[in-house]
Amino acid sequence: DTARLFILFAAPPERDLEWSDTAVEGSYRFLNRVFKFVTDNKDKIDFNSKYDVSSLTSEDKELRYVLNYSIKKATDDISIRFNFNTAISCVMELVNALYAYNGSNNALISEAAKDLIIMLAPFVPHITEELWEIIGGEGSVHEQKWVSYDEKALVKDETEIVVQINGKVKDKMMISTGLSDDEIKAAALENDKIKELTEGKQVLKVIVVKGKLVNIVVK
C-alpha cells in the first residue's frame, strides 16, 4: 500500500516517476496517521448515527466543508481528470482537518471516517479493507457505493478576504457570505486597522473581487 500510494501520489500518469526514499517514508507516515485516527476513534463510529445540520457548531461546519470539498474534488479528479495525485492530496487535507478537529460531534466523525476509508480504497486496498472491518463495515470496502457530497455544505457562512490599500495587503477579515459589493466595501472601510491607515487620505475608489479581496485606492 505504501508503494502504491507513493507511485500514484508522486506524479500524474503521463509523467515519469522519480524514486524518492523520503517520499516513500512520507506515504508510510500518512497511512499510519490514517490508521491511528480510525483506530483511536473506532468507538465513536456508528453507521446509523445522524446529525442535525441546523445544530452544527462552527468547528463542525468547517470539518463538514473540508469533507464535502474533498469528496467533490477526489471524485472529479479520479473520474474526469484521472489526476490521482491531486485526489490523494485532497484526502490528505481531510486527514489534517480530522486531526485538527476539536469538536465532539460523533456522527460527523463517523461520516468522515467512513467516507475517508472509501475514498482511499482505490489507492490503498489492503489497509482500507482492514480499517473497514475495524469500524464494523459490512462486506468488503471495495463493494461499497462511492461517496457523495452535499452541495449545501460547500457554501460557507463566512469567507476570509484580503483587504489591500493601493494594491498592498494590509489586513484580512471575515465577512458573511452573500453580502453585496456595497456591503463588502462598507465593511472594509469600517475595519479598525483600515480606518487608521486611511485616516486623512482621500479614497478614490474601492475595488471588490468577490470572495477574495477588497482593494482601496487612496491618495
Alpha carbon distance 22, 19 (integer Å): 9
Q: What is the mean pLDDT of residues 122-131?
A: 98
Statement: residue 120 has pLDDT above 80:
yes
Confidence check: pLDDT of 14 > 80: no
User: Bridge partners of 125?
Assistant: none
* C-alpha to C-alpha distance for 167 and 181, rounded to whole angstroms: 18
Q: Which tens digits make up the pLDDT trace of 47-66?
A: 999 999 989 998 999 999 99
Cell of 4: 502504491
Instruction: Report the 10 Å Cβ neighbour count for 140.
Output: 13
Per-residue pLDDT at 179: 87
What does pLDDT average to over the chain?
94
Predicted local confidence at residue 166, as pLDDT? 96
Q: Rounded to an integer, what distance in angstroms lies between the CA atom of residue 98 and that of residue 106? A: 12
State how far the Cα of 120 lies from the Cα of 116, in Å rounded to an integer.
6
Is pLDDT of 18 > 80?
yes
Band of pLDDT at residue 156, cut at 50, 70 and 90: confident
Checking DSSP bridges between strand 213-218 and strand 158-165, what pairing results, if any? parallel
* Mean pLDDT along residues 74-93: 94
